[in-house]
Amino acid sequence: MESKRQQKFAGVIQQDLATIFQREGSGYLPNAMVTITKVRVTPDLALARIFLSFFNGGNSQQALQTIRSHANEIRYKLGARIKDQVRVVPQLEFFVDDTSEYVERMDAIFDKIAKEERQPDTEE
């Protein structure tokens, strides 16, 4: 369970990274929109795990590798934004948030189940 401090810090990072990706994200991934779906911070606030969702990006693993290759640059830009609020800018780890894919897969399964004819219950 995350402390209030971790949650607040994660919210600050999420908001500032969203601004960075909105303004400068086209430099990393042209024709793709990046959404920060979740940020988790370690108790010592030294490591931030950022979960990203990509729209119109095609291959999300390739997009993730591109973002990871620019991680130091993104961390520097984040540090410039939050330098007055923290002592140390956390290391950034990026992951693909596949929640939307999971939801689509589950919806397809439920649709398939709903379309199957129900077998009448037989009692013996």
Q: What is the CATH code for 4-115?
A: 3.30.300.20
Tell me if 91 sits within 8 A of 47, measured CB to CB.
Answer: yes
pTM attached to this predicted model: 0.77
Half-sphere exposure of 8 (CA within 13 A, CB side): 5
The string of pLDDT tens digits covering residues 11-56 is 999 999 999 988 887 788 888 888 899 999 999 999 999 999 888 7
The string of pLDDT tens digits covering residues 50-69 is 999 888 767 888 888 989 99
Residue 24 vs residues 19, 21, 34, 102: alpha-carbon distances, Å: 8, 5, 11, 29
Domain boundaries, the chain: 4-115
Residue among 48, 52, 50 nearest 88 (CA): 48
